[in-house]
Structure 1
Amino acid sequence: MDYKEKIGTVKNPLQLKTPPLSSEYTMHVAEKDGSEILVCTVGKTVLHYDIRCIQDLHNMLKSHGDWMLLGSKDEKVLTKPDTVEHWGRSPENPIGGWYGLKKNFRGRFGMYIPPLLEHLGLAEVEHNKRNNRMCAV
């Protein structure tokens, strides 16, 4: 499925909030090395994610069939199994590893990708101060 129009461009990026609704960030689609990627900008920090994560995460959540903890962590911090963050860097996911593409900025998948899926109507995300979960719609 093509979500580009709903995500935005560098000139008109999608405005999102983290699951606890405490921080704002933007997301847009760009091209890098001939492939489309997601560009997530948080203040001055820019993260890149493989655009396949949208459909892959939605499919995994549908298969999971229940709520899943987000478990967001920086790249160098170990993840808790059975969380969205753990899945987003697991050799068991469809791409066999990290959906984050920028070395030293590959983490926080569980913070920035779930609100995008919620915006696209693919998932429901909790908005508590911590320990948020998501499930497929």
Structure 2
Amino acid sequence: MSTVQGTKENPWQLKTPPLTSDYEMYKDEKDGKAILVCTVGKTVLHYDYRCVDDLYAMLKLHGDWMELGSADEQKPVKEGTVEAWGRSPENPVGGWYGLKKGLRGRLGMYLPPLMEQLGLAEVEHNPRNNRIRAI
């Protein structure tokens, strides 16, 4: 078994910010591009791997706590949240970090615990309205 975490053989074992659901993530490659594969139950989401560095840079610049604001792709999103940033034309990729049409949302739910695991950020673990800040 691989000792390197974040691979298909040894994915990061994570919990959603309210600590209510388990999921796993690992880094992979698709069409020559680094991606994050996020498996939640039977659902598999893909995000552009750049989101890790880009979110960290944005949070460092923001300099304070930011609401996560997680939402499905089809749902409206609260401005000024990680979720809004993850789909904004103003972010470094000019839109969605999610790569699977119909399942491009939820960046605000699944990316922050990985950022915490990697030692890049602090995440609150309340029942709702959690926030993140860069370390």
Q: Aligned residue for 1:10?
A: 8
1:15-34 to 2 correspondences below 5 Å: 15-34=13-32
**Distance in 2, Cα, partners of 1:50 & 1:6:** 20
Matched position secondary structure for 1:20: coil
Q: TM-score, normalised by structure 1?
A: 0.94
Q: RMSD between aligned alpha carbons?
A: 1.1
Q: Aligned residue for 2:81?
A: 83
1:27-66 to 2 correspondences below 5 Å: 27-66=25-64
Unaligned segments of structure 1, at least 5 residues: none
Unaligned segments of structure 2, at least 5 residues: none
Q: TM-score, normalised by structure 2?
A: 0.96
Q: Aligned residue for 2:103?
A: 105
2:122 aligned to which of 121, 124, 132 = 124
Q: Which amino acid aligns with 1:116?
A: L
2:4·2:10 contact (CA, 8 Å) conserved in 1? no
Alpha-carbon deviation of 1:7? 4.6
Matched position secondary structure for 2:57: helix
Percent of pairs identical after alignment?
70
**Distance in 1, Cα, partners of 2:47 & 2:12:** 15
4+ runs deviating over 6 angstroms? none
